[in-house]
Amino acid sequence: MLEVRNLFKALNGNEILKNINLRFETGVYGLLGANGAGKTTLIKCLCNLYEIDSGSILYNGIQINHLKNNYFNSLGYLPQNFGYYQDFTAYDFLSYIGVLKGLEGKKLEHRIEYLLKELGLYEKKNIRLKLYSGGMLRRVGIAQALLNEPEILILDEPTAGLDPKERIHLKNLLNQYGEKHTVIISTHIVSDVEDISQAIILLKKGEICEQGDLDVLLKKIEGFVYEGTVPKTQLDYFMNKYRVRNVYDLGNTIRIRIITEDNVEKCFAPIEATLNDLYLYYFDEVSEDD
């Protein structure tokens, strides 16, 4: 079990994370927030890459900075910006990373072969990484994070560069892996975690604004989500009045999905909320520069 207690972290004199309290057990956790919310800083703290200013991060009851290699051996990490050696082939690169993680022999060979096949890279395992596409490189990064079969798998924006089919396959893989391990996915793409997370964490301007089971969180905006059909000429009016989540063109009219706590016109009817609605409810006013 990984636990965060009263964590504070500042960078360059700016407080990035404030009073973070989290508990991770077996399962998939979605860490959601707009760009600049502090997700990557939190991830680096969890990976013991940043020294925290106050508070504690515990793995099985022991502070991770006291565990040293015993903690790193239990950890798999994909950073947002994944570094690699351009002249290595995928197989050679994973072999190199495997040795750094203390793996060797047939066990390492079998693990590399399994991951290359699972991530659709086996046929191109002997091609140099500098010839790989962005999506292929991301899959190599995911493979290196999974090499040591970590108890804790932490992925920062794992689907960057992946096509829709690859995203679905990765979600299925992570969902299966989370049955026996802890998986933490940091992203601002709601669909990456909507179907597979046992818990959602919403991070806003360095603070946790909500966390918990998705069904419980959605109840907080129950009765705030509506859809209605209106003339196209009224679009600007509704865009200015409400948080508009979606606009569907129906020809002469439009169907719009809005989120509001206020009374609405008779053309709107309440509908069931989704994680995308929850995200917009909390982060609509947050710019990507915040």
Q: Are residues 34 and 177 in the same domain?
A: yes
Q: Are residues 148 and 228 in the same domain?
A: no
pTM reported for the whole predicted model: 0.91
Q: Are residues 214 and 227 in the same domain?
A: no
pLDDT at 130 over 90: yes
Residue 281: inside a domain, yes or no?
A: no
DSSP conformation class of 38: S
Q: Which domain holds residue 251?
A: 223-272
> Could you read off the pLDDT of 8-46 as tens digits, one per residue?
999 998 999 999 999 999 999 999 998 889 999 999 999
Residue 277: inside a domain, yes or no?
A: no
Q: Are residues 159 and 244 in the same domain?
A: no
Residue 283: inside a domain, yes or no?
A: no
Residue 62: inside a domain, yes or no?
A: yes
> Could you read off the pLDDT of 192-241 as tens digits, one per residue?
898 899 899 999 999 999 999 999 999 999 999 999 999 999 999 999 99
Q: Are residues 212 and 228 in the same domain?
A: no
Q: Are residues 151 and 211 in the same domain?
A: yes
Binned at pLDDT 50, 70 and 90, residue 189 comes out as confident
In CATH, what number is assigned to the domain containing residue 133? 3.40.50.300
Residue 157: inside a domain, yes or no?
A: yes
Q: Are residues 144 and 235 in the same domain?
A: no
Q: Are residues 239 and 101 in the same domain?
A: no
The pLDDT mean for the chain works out to 92
Q: Are residues 108 and 229 in the same domain?
A: no
Q: Which amino acid is at 247?
A: V
Residue 284: inside a domain, yes or no?
A: no
Q: Are residues 261 and 199 in the same domain?
A: no
pLDDT at 285 over 80: no
Residue 278: inside a domain, yes or no?
A: no
Nearest to 58 by CA among 24, 9, 101: 24
pLDDT at 290 over 60: no
**Residue for token pair 């409400």:** 242
Per the structure, the count of domains in the chain is 2
Task: Examine the fold and report which residue of 203, 218, 233 is the final residue of a domain before the chain moves on.
Answer: 218
Q: Are residues 135 and 156 in the same domain?
A: yes
Share of residues in the chain with pLDDT > 90 (%): 84
Q: Are residues 31 and 175 in the same domain?
A: yes
25 CB-contact burial (10 Å; exposed 0-12 / middle 13-18 / buried 19+) = exposed
Residue 248: inside a domain, yes or no?
A: yes
